[in-house]
Structure 1
């Protein structure tokens, strides 16, 4: 799983869940920190949206891509930012991608908070994973610091 091109296509059940989470966020209801991330397409320039789990660790906010190098990841890398939306609130953001060596504590927190939802994407790892295990899979899980 040490792959910088890792991308897991959402299954039908995941797509339905994502649509539900996004619909709630558009109405101003956050499920455990969920937001709608809007990022301009790197080719079209049009806004693209996806639900994300916004996470705060030690006062710093992060976005983690549990499915790997998705389109939103590629778009946010190209643009350097986007918007976090919740109801009528729109927050412009800029992001910095974390180096693989800096990801283990963030990934562990992410698994602690949302392992019930995204744990299957981590192929057997959970919140108890060692730093070495998390470092081994880090290239497949983009992490962005907001700010």
Structure 2
């Protein structure tokens, strides 16, 4: 069995993500970033990571540019989490998309966030062919999220 695609964060990137997460917790969203919390599948503790929520055709998505990361594995187990920017915390449920439904979401995600994430897509960009993006889809989990905005 092959190992699922995953690009480990460098020390510099980990530090940068810590700063972005801290900013989101304190109400500063860089280009739409938020801090996501998801319950750890083994520890049971909430794990936090900065994410780039993406909207496509009115629905919201989370894309794992780095592949099958720990937050992805935790999301599969938990089925949802929280998004935070400052004091605004939104609980959400998450459903993972099958590879065949990812193409338009990944293309528009790369159009918006490619400047930050292209390095994790092994040469695939927003301008790549449908076949190239579809071939990369299995390496990049995508979750459709439904935010529960009830008081």
TM-score interval w.r.t. the shorter chain? over 0.9
Counterpart CA distance in 1 for 2:71 and 2:83 is 13
How far apart are 1:117 and its partner, in Å? 0.6
Unpaired segments ≥5 residues, structure 1 = none
Deviation string for 1:46-104 (max 9, x for gaps)?
11000000111111100000000101000010010010111111111001101101111
Counterpart of 1:47 in structure 2 is 46
Question: Counterparts in 2 of 1:1-147, with a 5 A limit?
Answer: 5-147=4-146
How far apart are 1:4 and its partner, in Å? 7.1
Counterpart CA distance in 2 for 1:109 and 1:36 is 21
Contact 1:65 / 1:141 at 8 angstroms: preserved in 2? yes
Runs of 4+ in 1 over 6 A off after TM superposition: none
| Secondary structure, aligned partner of 2:74 | helix
Contact 1:4 / 1:139 at 8 angstroms: preserved in 2? no
Deviation string for 1:88-140 (max 9, x for gaps)?
11111001101101111111111111111111001111110111111111110
Q: 1:102 to 1:4 in 2, by over 3 A?
A: farther
Q: Which fold has the larger relative contact order, with Cα–Cα distance below 8 Å and residues 6 or more apart in sequence? A: 1
Counterpart CA distance in 2 for 1:46 and 1:106 is 30
Contact 1:4 / 1:69 at 8 angstroms: preserved in 2? no
Counterpart CA distance in 2 for 1:4 and 1:81 is 25
Q: 1:19 to 1:68 in 2, by over 3 A?
A: same
Unpaired segments ≥5 residues, structure 2 = 147-151
